[in-house]
Structure 1
């Protein structure tokens, strides 16, 4: 394992995709049969205020507590049950290889963090009844029937307790005789905040989980100001219309999700890709004449040794964003021509069997077609 760089905060986030069963209840594009949970951060937030994000938050030492291993063991879970999340063939990002003083693996702790934070922020609790677990193997299934285990009062009580003390999350699991459903969370990507965006930066693992119906969700008013279930295309359309604000990682990932119109295909893709590895995505920003180019690994302009800590000066070029793109052969970038104007250009094969983002103009064309 490698040593951990401490120039940023470690975090985890969840792309929660839920199949829509009552299409009349959710107005959106008919080409998508699933929605993504998006939460709007408070305007007073220190990081990305007023921005719609996937649920998630900062890792806590409680997520690495050995009490979790005792909980799984007490319910008869054999060590082999964690093989699907541990046996990854591809290169691992630093968050997963970092040496820590805990017996709990990084792969397990970051998933526990994701489930805990999703519960805090949305009230959705992704756990499994310990009595219904195959104690030797566990694999993600699309037939995930989410059932809320609380009354409204109990829900708010536990959310407050977990919000105030992350150690309360294991008490919650003990109380309902459940274990965190770490197997249904599959690695999607790993984003590090660009070095030029200030001292508050995050190194975040993005997971994806597919469920077969839209669960009830209630945003945490302490941290959030709104909640929406959006198809990937609708999310980008609202962003383009300046109705919601997205940061580049969220807009980029929504554009990748636009490759899948139904949740069955999305789930199949994530399962088939789950052991191939997770790419470390550290955007390197270039100031062009009329905007910003956010370079991603694979682009010809991406540095061989990117400046992770922000010691070098920001790259500046005299070309326009379009001129630079036209003069570059291999592209993997987000073009930022305004707060609400992102576009995605990728003509290279993403690492570890991942999928390319779709050009924003093509997304908008597809959206118009499906609304005719």
Structure 2
């Protein structure tokens, strides 16, 4: 998770709750022992040092302006609007694609030519001949970092089947150095790694419905405030006609 200007906040406000997107890439989803893509955060990282995490990070201001070859599925967009602003879904989807690219070098996109000027953070992605795409993303979890942490994020987790990712799934040569030890970890072994508490919660939710191709009836929202920690269920609602 980087310190570029997040969507709706500035990097100078370290106490702000930042919108964030996380990608749970699943390989061999219908097999005997599916795998998830994870990497280890650095020992000096301000947020979750040394922990094994999914690729993800804060939404940038520029993400709202980045084009998508295909938008999020309607149901995901509806549920992202539940207990949230209605203008954040696009930026969250773009951030998920960008973070997956930056931290792993893997492409979640569709072949195409960028309309107009390519934003600086997307030059290397655009050079692959792809536009970012949210078509294969499924919104499956939301979690708010508890008070008192050095960074707080309102993180949305998106499940993606690995067969929707372009390129060699084992080639991490284009990844940044933000995550080390990138690897596909079998679900049967993942809890032997040093995981954040919320990652364990998300893994339990994903594991329970790993072979269910249909979206869940609702999306869990682990909401942490000063007063209490609550588990809500996000069911969404129909989008406006012009949404």
TM-score (norm 2): 0.73
Question: Higher strand fraction: Structure 1 or Structure 2?
Answer: 2
Q: Aligned in 2, Cα 1:259/1:130: closer, same or farther, shift over 3 Å?
A: same
Q: Aligned in 2, Cα 1:172/1:86: closer, same or farther, shift over 3 Å?
A: farther
* Structure 2 contact 55–104 (Cα < 8 Å) conserved: yes
Q: Verify: 1:84 aligned to 2:73, yes or no.
A: yes
Unaligned 5+ segments in structure 2 are 1-7, 10-14, 237-243
Structure 1 moving runs of 4+ over 6 Å? none
Query: How far off is 1:16 after superposition?
Result: 0.5
Unaligned 5+ segments in structure 1 are 22-29, 99-104, 132-165, 239-243, 287-293, 299-349, 354-372
Deviation track 1:166-196 (CA, whole Å, cap 9, x = no partner) reads: 933443454343211211111111111011x
Equivalent residues in 2 for 1:1-372 (5 A)? 7-19=16-28, 31-32=32-33, 34-65=34-65, 68-69=66-67, 82=71, 84-85=73-74, 88-90=77-79, 92-95=81-84, 97=85, 105-130=87-112, 167-195=119-147, 197-212=148-163, 215-218=169-172, 220=175, 222-236=177-191, 238=192, 244-260=193-209, 265-266=211-212, 268-269=213-214, 272-273=215-216, 278-283=219-224, 295-297=229-231, 352=235
* Structure 1 contact 16–209 (Cα < 8 Å) conserved: yes
Question: Higher helix fraction: Structure 1 or Structure 2?
Answer: 1
Q: Aligned in 2, Cα 1:86/1:61: closer, same or farther, shift over 3 Å?
A: farther
RMSD: 3.5
Query: How far off is 1:203 after superposition?
Result: 1.2
Query: How far off is 1:295 after superposition?
Result: 4.7
Tell me the matched-pair count.
216
* Structure 2 contact 21–155 (Cα < 8 Å) conserved: yes
The structure with more radius of gyration: 1
Query: How far off is 1:225 after superposition?
Result: 2.6
